[in-house]
Amino acid sequence: MLFIDNKYTRTYFDIIETAKKIQWIESDYTEKHHIIPKSYFKKYSKSGWIDGNPDDINNIVVLSARQHYICHLLLTKMTEGLALKKSLFALTRIVRRYHKHFGEKINSRLYSVLKEQWEQINPFNDPTWQKEFGGAARKGKIPPNKGKSNKDFYGEERAKEISQTASKSQKGKIKSKSHRKNISETRINQEIAKGSTWFNNGIISIMSYECPVGFVKGRGTTYKNVGSTGKKLSFPCTCIKCREITTSGSISRGNHDHCCPLNC
């Protein structure tokens, strides 16, 4: 059973059926809502368990902002297990967006209850989850996304949707002259550094196409926090373009102009 059979589930579907009958006008502020959350679907999320298309017209309803907030609140009362985790996460995002657009604030008691409930089931607080999926478990392993694109993970259709969303978010934004210059220079520097990798000898780190004598593959540590003061002790790195040594610790494939002392 997808949803628990309780009063919250009945109220949830009552709101949806009511919203379907509303004739919204263009001036109304509305939001699209997935009746069965997108994150439940295999097509949208790697942890999903439902087959099918989450964007099917029968799974989408137009709601007011208030109805949308209430529906996501109800979802946390009518689900359990993984579905509850996903519903709680979605609600926190809705709360932030709702507050940003309308200045509305949720009841502090309600927020406290939700936060406490989330902390109890948050996988990052679970030692078993940390042991299996945490940083220690991933150490020395090749990241599953290395060398792969969105197409490899989500399929061609979903990858195209992600690309279009990212492109749309940048359209209309005015970039300053210095911003455009930085983008251009970054692309040039990325081309220069293409095919190279980091090597270090325990003291300095350099980018090169071949491993120098006495060096091993890897960037190594360029800085670390010292004591409770939080001060940083820097170690020298070498710029790939001019080989000038710097202790900024910020040299990257596209950031030479901001760290090399000669501004090469």
User: How many CB atoms are closer than 10 A to CB 246?
Assistant: 19
Residue showing tokens 């070498």: 238
**What is the pLDDT at residue 107?**
63
The structure's pTM equals 0.47
Please state, in angstroms and rounded to a whole number, the distance separating the CA atoms of residues 264 and 262. 5
With 0-12 / 13-18 / 19 or more C-beta atoms within 10 angstroms meaning exposed / middle / buried, residue 75 is buried
**What is the pLDDT at residue 105?**
62
Q: Return the DSSP state at 41.
A: B
**What is the pLDDT at residue 262?**
46
**What is the pLDDT at residue 15?**
94
**What is the pLDDT at residue 150?**
83
What would the pLDDT profile of 210-245 be if each residue is shown by its tens digit?
888 888 888 765 444 434 344 444 445 555 556 555
**What is the pLDDT at residue 152?**
82
Q: What is the mean pLDDT of each run of 10 residues along the chain (264 residues)?
A: 91 95 85 92 87 92 86 92 90 71 59 66 72 68 74 83 86 83 80 78 78 82 43 48 53 46 49
Strand partners, 111: none
Residue 227 identity (one-letter amino acid): G
68, 31 contact by CB (below 8 A): yes
Instruction: Give CA 42 to chain center in angstroms.
Output: 18
**What is the pLDDT at residue 198?**
81
With 0-12 / 13-18 / 19 or more C-beta atoms within 10 angstroms meaning exposed / middle / buried, residue 251 is buried
**What is the pLDDT at residue 21?**
93
